[in-house]
Amino acid sequence: MTASEKIWTAGLVVIGDEILSGRTHDKNIAQVASWLQVQGIRLSEVRVVPDVMERIVEAVNALREGYDYLFTTGGIGPTHDDITVDAVAQALGVNVIVHPEAREMLENYYSSRDMELTEARLRMARVPEGAELIPNRMSGAPGIKYGKVHLMAGVPHITAGMLDALTGTLEGGAPLLTETVGCWTAESEVADVLREVEKAHQNCQIGSYPFFREGRVGANFVVRSTSEDNLRSAVDTLCEALGEEGFDFTPGGI
């Protein structure tokens, strides 16, 4: 691997009792993962932790040490259970301050709606000292960036706006390319083929995802590589091998 082929990695901490109770189905893992993929950054680990200070601090410290980037979702709103800023500041060993620009954003947002900037709302202007803001066009409250650490909202469409604002600003590597080959067969029928094709192609991973549809079993085989040539070659070999086995397969996936 040359220096230019460095693999950029990220960790994600999903913060919130509502995910761990099953009340809310998380949408941020898939959203952040897909977005990172396009930036050429690989999501390497996710931890979901409750709204408990020490648990957030612990997860933030573990993942920011292990990966190039760290993202968090959840816990940056105005209520008493929103403690992400305090936890991250503690993990970073810095104070929490009110960011003047964030305060201004909130003042503008609420005054344009004839609403008051209460003490609770002002909580959303608090950041770890030294942090920058991530603009958010969906609501007044910004996300927060402190070096490699990015604090984002829990509400998925607000997080989407923050990711938009970050698009193209993070250094990444070659995006991971994927191609899917679908096959009307039990994955167990072609396990050997998959293993051999993967082994024969450097820098390619093949994932196998079975499904049951229209009364038949099938599987999608997802080939991943950062090299377009390697990906092409692996997909061609896989299609050829599946064809030889006489299965009903589709290069574009089913």
Chain residues binding a second copy by CB under 8 A are: 14, 16-27, 29-37, 42-51, 55, 77-81, 115, 118-121, 123-124, 155, 176, 178, 186-189, 191-192, 194-195, 198, 205-210, 222, 224
**C-alpha to C-alpha distance for 52 and 74, rounded to whole angstroms:** 12
Beta carbon of residue 61, minimum distance to a second copy (angstroms, whole number): 14
Beta carbon of residue 6, minimum distance to a second copy (angstroms, whole number): 18
CB closer to a second copy, 94 vs 138: 138
CB closer to a second copy, 148 vs 207: 207
Beta carbon of residue 16, minimum distance to a second copy (angstroms, whole number): 8
CB closer to a second copy, 19 vs 88: 19
End-to-end Cα distance, the chain? 34
Q: Which amino acid is at 182?
A: G
Contacts with 120 (C-beta within 8 Å, 6 or more apart), sequence order = 78, 79
Coil vs helix vs strand at 117: coil
CB closer to a second copy, 104 vs 129: 104
CB closer to a second copy, 92 vs 223: 223
The full 3-state SS of 19-79, as one line of letters, equals: HHCCCCCCCHHHHHHHHHHHHCEEEEEEEEECCCHHHHHHHHHHHHHHCCEEEEECCCCCC
Beta carbon of residue 154, minimum distance to a second copy (angstroms, whole number): 8
Beta carbon of residue 200, minimum distance to a second copy (angstroms, whole number): 13
**C-alpha to C-alpha distance for 36 and 39, rounded to whole angstroms:** 5
